[in-house]
Amino acid sequence: MRRIRVSKFLSISEISEITNFSPYTLRYYEKVGILRKPERMHGKDRKYSEKEIRHLKGIKALKEMNMSLDDIKEFFLEGCILDKVESGENFKPPLNKRIRILETHLQKLEQKKKDLESMIRLAKSKLKEYETLLKKE
């Protein structure tokens, strides 16, 4: 993702270029509640700000961890933690919730890692078995 300082509102095509999310994906994230519905210019064109860029960077990071869209939606349900810190709101409950979501996700990833390691051992065993058969000929 490119780093850019936004001093104006951006269109969906501009935000798409900056974040590498397609306009279709951005609209889908709005539809399912992962991304808040942006304000609209002249009642029709979406306008995005730097806040949405930060939010989309967070979404991208969670997607790179292979987190499900449902978990990503839950992760951001209470909004931006930084906004809560800056406004003096109590940010600990949503932060604790995010920690629990990440801990649960990490447990799932650890289990997937074990499963993959088991599959790798099995594949190596099969490969060795077949190579041994070839050497007997």
Asked if 28 and 11 touch (Cβ cutoff 8 Å), the reply is no
Same domain, 96 and 55: no
Is the pTM above the cut of 0.85? Answer: no
- In a domain? residue 72: no
Mean pLDDT, rounded, for 91-113: 96
Asked if 53 and 19 touch (Cβ cutoff 8 Å), the reply is yes
Question: Residue 70 is which amino acid?
Answer: D
- pLDDT, tens digit (0-9, with 9 covering 90-100), for 34-50: 998 888 877 778 888 88
- pLDDT, tens digit (0-9, with 9 covering 90-100), for 49-86: 888 999 999 999 999 999 999 999 999 998 888 888 88
| Tokens describing residue 21 | 């999310």
How far is CA 48 from each of CA 2, 14, 106, 135, rounded to the nearest angstrom?
A: 16, 9, 32, 64
Q: Which CATH number is 36's domain given?
A: 1.10.1660.10
- Structural domain including 23 reads 1-67
Same domain, 60 and 94: no
| Tokens describing residue 10 | 């951006």
Cα–Cα distance for residue pair 39/46, rounded to 1 Å: 6
| pLDDT reading at 129 higher than 90 | yes
- The domain total for the chain is 2
How many other C-beta atoms lie within 10 A of the C-beta of residue 5?
A: 6
Asked if 113 and 95 touch (Cβ cutoff 8 Å), the reply is no
